[in-house]
A and B are shown apart, each in its own frame.
Chain A
Amino acid sequence: DAGVTQSPTHLIKTRGQQVTLRCSPKSGHDTVSWYQQALGQGPQFIFQYYEEEERQRGNFPDRFSGHQYPNYSSELNVNALLLGDSALYLCASSRIRTGGNEQFFGPGTRLTVL
């Protein structure tokens, strides 16, 4: 049973560029949440997708957008990259039916903005 997978593992971009990160949830999970983790800090909630819609959003600008596909996989898009967007981006999946509080995380994508 595959866990949460994310791609790519590492990415280097320059300021102003756009980036797309991908996530496949754990088998049987229908909800995907995205988090940003800066060095030395805890993960910060970006947003969550369920039934292909954004259900809740954290304190992140509109440059951060996402999408969920019918197979529950998800993408995180960041436009007009800033140096401060450099971080580990984590995807977590869960099941709505079980309350969804137990979120399982992928290994993350390390984004570096130069």
Chain B
Amino acid sequence: GQQLNQSPQSMFIQEGEDVSMNCTSSSIFNTWLWYKQEPGEGPVLLIALYKAGELTSNGRLTAQFGITRKDSFLNISASIPSDVGIYFCAGPDMGGYQKVTFGTGTKLQVIP
């Protein structure tokens, strides 16, 4: 089956710093999704990408759909303490159904 690998696995950063994380796949995707999950909560959709090369922003978050369609990147600028959480990339199956495969996650901790 499809596998999504995220890196780094975890990161500690100072408040105000920029953050970059990525997601790579063993197969191509037509859509990339980025979710954030906080403790005790379900994942919250941050950004959806639908086209190779697409760059989309949501406030301080910017995500890119890789040209090869096998990767995606998420950047967070000027991090703040509430950015803490686990960030997941995800991609729906190519088969026309809505099964979504999630990545392994990047745990972000922000030091005030």
A25 close to chain B: CB less than 8 A:
no
**Taking the nearest CB of chain A, how far is it from the CB of B22, in angstroms?**
15
The bracket for how many chain B residues form the interface is 20 to 34
- Residues of chain B with a CB closer than 8 A to A4's CB: 42
Contact B98 A103 (CB under 8 A): yes
A79 close to chain B: CB less than 8 A:
no
Contact A101 B97 (CB under 8 A): no
- Residues of chain A with a CB closer than 8 A to B73's CB: none
CA distance A58 to B104 in the complex (A): 17
- Residues of chain A with a CB closer than 8 A to B90's CB: 42
- Residues of chain A with a CB closer than 8 A to B85's CB: none
Mask: chain B, 90-112; 1 = CB below 8 Å from A; 0 = not: 10110101111111110000000
Residue in B1, B40, B45, B102 whose CB lies within 8 Å of A43? B102
CA distance A73 to B33 in the complex (A): 24
B31 close to chain A: CB less than 8 A:
yes
Residue in A58, A100, A102, A107 whose CB lies within 8 Å of B42? A107
- Residues of chain B with a CB closer than 8 A to A106's CB: 42
CA distance A58 to B43 in the complex (A): 19
Mask: chain B, 15-50; 1 = CB below 8 Å from A; 0 = not: 000000000000000010101000011111100100
A: number of interface residues (CB 8 Å): 26
Contact A59 B88 (CB under 8 A): no
- Residues of chain B with a CB closer than 8 A to A68's CB: none
Given contacts A59-B1, A101-B92, A107-B42, contact A41 B97 (CB under 8 A): no
CA distance A70 to B6 in the complex (A): 38
- Residues of chain A with a CB closer than 8 A to B40's CB: 107
User: Closest residue of chain A to B42, judged by CB?
Assistant: A105
Given contacts A42-B88, A48-B97, A102-B33, contact A108 B45 (CB under 8 A): no
**Taking the nearest CB of chain A, how far is it from the CB of B84, in angstroms?**
16
**Interface residues of A, Cβ cutoff 8 Å to B:** 4, 31, 33, 35, 41-45, 48, 55-56, 58-59, 90, 92, 94, 100-108
Q: Could you list some 8 contacts between A and B, CB below 8 A?
A: A42-B4, A42-B88, A56-B93, A92-B42, A100-B92, A100-B98, A102-B33, A103-B33
